[in-house]
Amino acid sequence: MGLDIEAVAFDIDGTLYSEWGFYISVFPFVLTHFPLMNAFRKVRVEIRKYQEEHPNEVQEDFFDFQAGLLSVHLKKDKESVKQELKASIYDGWKSLFSKIKPHKYAFEVISELKKRNFKIALLSDFVTEQKGNVWGILPFCDVSVSSENVGALKPSRFPFIALSKELNIPCEKILYVGNSMKYDVKGAKSVGMKTALIHSKWFFKPKSKDVDIYFSDYRQLLKALL
């Protein structure tokens, strides 16, 4: 395809591993922690709505901001909610992710891209530490960015700008790989990045002019870049 890029950045959740595999693994947790998970889902929607209404704002302490919103739903004080969230999800899911397998060929393709002198990066809405060494992929990365640490969730432009600054590479020279048109493609395109969208072999997503590369197998991504 001949995209003029110097770096390839990856979303993690649903991009480096199957969403379905995650849903199956997390289902028992959801059943036993339903009030927390239901509130957490609603709060993430509220945060993104707030960001749409305040597009130039980032949270200096995103975790405190998030806990404040959760405390309203759960009717608990903010500090106890913050501790519960950390223990149950941010730290509690570490063992869960250790059992999830990445997409076939993801490791091999990223390793090959690194050998071909592309800068490699991660940009996720959750902290990278939650996934350990990201199935061996983290050591290949020049940069790892969490939108929570930046202070705004995707598709806010701020995490993508932070990614560009950390890499010291202009946005237009970065390919961002994700699984969501709504969050990954929209956010990356808003700052001028190239985009690649992973999709299911069985449920192809309608083509969009905002997506430069579609792929269902990581080998297809590698072929498109070389």
44 to 27, 70, 130, 165: CA distances (angstroms)? 19, 9, 18, 26
Name 194's Cβ contacts closer than 8 Å, sequence gap at least 6.
Answer: 3, 5, 172, 174, 175, 176, 188, 212, 213
Model confidence pLDDT, tens digit, residues 120-161? 999 999 999 899 999 999 999 999 999 999 999 999 999 999
pTM, two decimals, is: 0.94
Pick from 183, 136, 188: which is nearest to 162 by CA? Answer: 188
Model confidence pLDDT, tens digit, residues 1-57? 568 999 999 999 999 999 888 888 889 998 999 999 999 999 999 999 999 999 999
Instruction: Compute the distance between CA of residue 91 and CA of residue 81 in angstroms, rounded to an integer.
Output: 14
For residue 94, the one-letter residue type is K
Edge-to-edge order in the sheet of strand 194-198 = 143-146, 119-124, 7-10, 174-178, 194-198, 213-215
Instruction: Compute the distance between CA of residue 171 and CA of residue 48 in angstroms, rounded to an integer.
Output: 22
Which pLDDT score is estimated for 201?
76
Which pLDDT score is estimated for 204?
66
Crossing angle of helices 106-115 and 218-225, in 10° steps, is: 20
